[in-house]
Amino acid sequence: MIPGLNDSHVYAIRGGLNHLLALRWGGAPSLRTALSMLREQAARTPKGLPYR
């Protein structure tokens, strides 16, 4: 192992926020479904939120 090569810590608030706002592509059987999922997620995502 090389120390510092893998930093496995996470900031709880940022990690939780990203988890809630992330789009999970699993279960999208088609491009049509995936695009629909993307539209729904975009509608749920607060405006002006910086990407982390």
Residue (of 26, 16, 27, 23) closest to 40 by Cα position: 23
- On average, the pLDDT of the chain sits at 76
- 12's tokens: 């709880």
Indicate if the pLDDT at residue 7 is higher than 80.
no
Domain boundaries, the chain: 12-44
- pLDDT interval class at 41 (50, 70, 90): confident
Do residues 2 and 37 touch, judged by C-beta distance below 8 A? Answer: no
Indicate if the pLDDT at residue 5 is higher than 60.
yes
Residue (of 21, 11, 27, 20) closest to 42 by Cα position: 21
- C-alpha angle 22/26/29, rounded to 5°? 130
- 39's tokens: 């539209």
pLDDT digits (tens, 9 = 90+) for 14-39: 666 677 677 888 888 999 999 999 89
